[in-house]
Amino acid sequence: VTAQVLVVGSANADLVVTAERRPAGGETVLGGDTETLPGGKGANTAVAAARLGADVALLGAVGDDAHGGLLLDSLKESGVRTEFVRVVSKPTGLAFITVTPDGENSILVSPGANRTLRPEDVTAALPGARVMVASLEIPLATVEHAVTTAAAAGTRTILNLSPVASVPEETLAAVDLLLVNQHEAALLLGKAEDTPVRAPELSGLLDLGPSTAVVTAGARGAVVVEADGLTEVPSPSVDVVDTTGAGDAFAGALATALCDGAALPDAVERAVRVAAFSVTRRGAQPSYPTVAELKVSQHA
């Protein structure tokens, strides 16, 4: 039997440099020391879920190199099942990340091994999963196949459309829950990325096909979009150190809560708390809380 939560997505080694500001075109900026940390949207989501106690597997690919080893170690130490992580003869995906003092990041991804994830890889990993979460940075055909076959098998499908890409209508129609941030929501609704989206407009996301949507809004929490209306879920206020991977922590926590049978607004409330915790520490995977750490932080 496979895992209850299946995550389909990327695994990257994050090369993180802190800098006072990010370089503009043609400019050179000196930053701090480089840290190499386990990341990638898929691996991050799986690690977040496992730390919260989910029975979770990652369907992904890494290279036969030191970065691949770093990722497999982080996955295993966190309790993620790795039997569907293929080790291939391409370099492990890399993410070049700049973090500025406000905790904001910008990321350039070189997908490497992630490009080898094929639609047929989904077949072996899917049976038995109650919830499937897919994100981008892997071939779109694989994401599409994962979503449509999971939906056909009665598995609850979450599509974290990050980084945003244009996905066929049939795929979006098979999505139970579309997870995006405000920028991604703006682009999907046909606006410029920096246009603020007013909450009522978010119901337009359901016209694209998914049954429900959740839009994350950083420090402002998240908005749950359902056919019968919107629910705003505020975030606890925290000291922001590094927002890298907060959306992936959200996705992993959401999948875990839904797999446990939580109602959507409750699941989103838990996910908001986990994401808020993650931004208080550096890196993506290294910053994700265990159940015990979350409890302590709430009583602090």
Per-residue contact flags (x/-) with Na ion for residues 231 to 270, judged by CB under 5 A? -----------x----------------------------
Q: Which residue is nearest to ligand RIB (CB)?
A: 39
Q: Cβ-count burial of 110 within 10 angstroms (0-12 exposed, 13-18 middle, 19+ buried)?
A: middle
Per-residue contact flags (x/-) with ligand RIB for residues 67 to 106, judged by CB under 6 A? ----------------------------x-----------
C-alpha to C-alpha distance for 130 and 21, rounded to whole angstroms: 43
Q: Is residue 44 close enough to count as binding ligand RIB by CB under 6 A?
A: yes
Q: Residue 84 — φ and ψ, nearest 5°? A: -105, 20
Cα within 13 Å of Cα(164), Cβ side: 15
Q: Is 248 a catalytic residue?
A: yes
Q: Is residue 287 close enough to count as binding Na ion by CB under 5 A?
A: yes
Site for ligand RIB in 118-157 (CB under 6 A): 137
CB of residue 189 to ligand RIB, shortest distance in Å: 21
The two three-digit tokens of residue 65, written as one number: 């190199």
Secondary-structure percent of the chain, ordered helix, strand, coil, rounded to 5: 40, 25, 40
Q: Which residues pair with 222 in a beta bridge?
A: 216, 233
C-alpha to C-alpha distance for 229 and 245, rounded to whole angstroms: 28
Cα 252 versus chain centre, distance: 7
Site for ligand RIB in 215-254 (CB under 6 A): 244-245, 247-248
Nearer to Na ion, 37 or 224 (CB): 37
What's the CA angle centered on 266, arms 260 and 270, to 5 degrees? 80
The two three-digit tokens of residue 119, written as one number: 């639609």
Q: Which residue is nearest to Na ion (CB)?
A: 287
Nearer to Na ion, 176 or 248 (CB): 248
Given the rule CB under 5 A, which of 135-143, 152-160, 200-208, 280-288 is the region that contacts Na ion? Answer: 280-288
Residues contacting ligand RIB: total by CB under 6 A? 16
The two three-digit tokens of residue 20, written as one number: 């006072």
Alpha helical stretches, state H, the chain: 41-51, 66-78, 121-125, 140-152, 169-173, 182-188, 246-259, 264-278, 291-299
Q: Is residue 107 close enough to count as binding ligand RIB by CB under 6 A?
A: yes
Q: Is residue 41 close enough to count as binding ligand RIB by CB under 6 A?
A: yes
CB of residue 163 to ligand RIB, shortest distance in Å: 8
Alpha helical stretches, state H, 52-181: 66-78, 121-125, 140-152, 169-173
Nearer to ligand RIB, 160 or 171 (CB): 160
Catalytic residues: 248
Contact residues toward Na ion (CB under 5 A) are: 242, 278, 287
Kindly list the residues in this chain that would bind ligand RIB in the complex (CB under 6 A). Answer: 10, 12, 14, 39-41, 44, 95, 107, 109, 137, 244-245, 247-248, 284
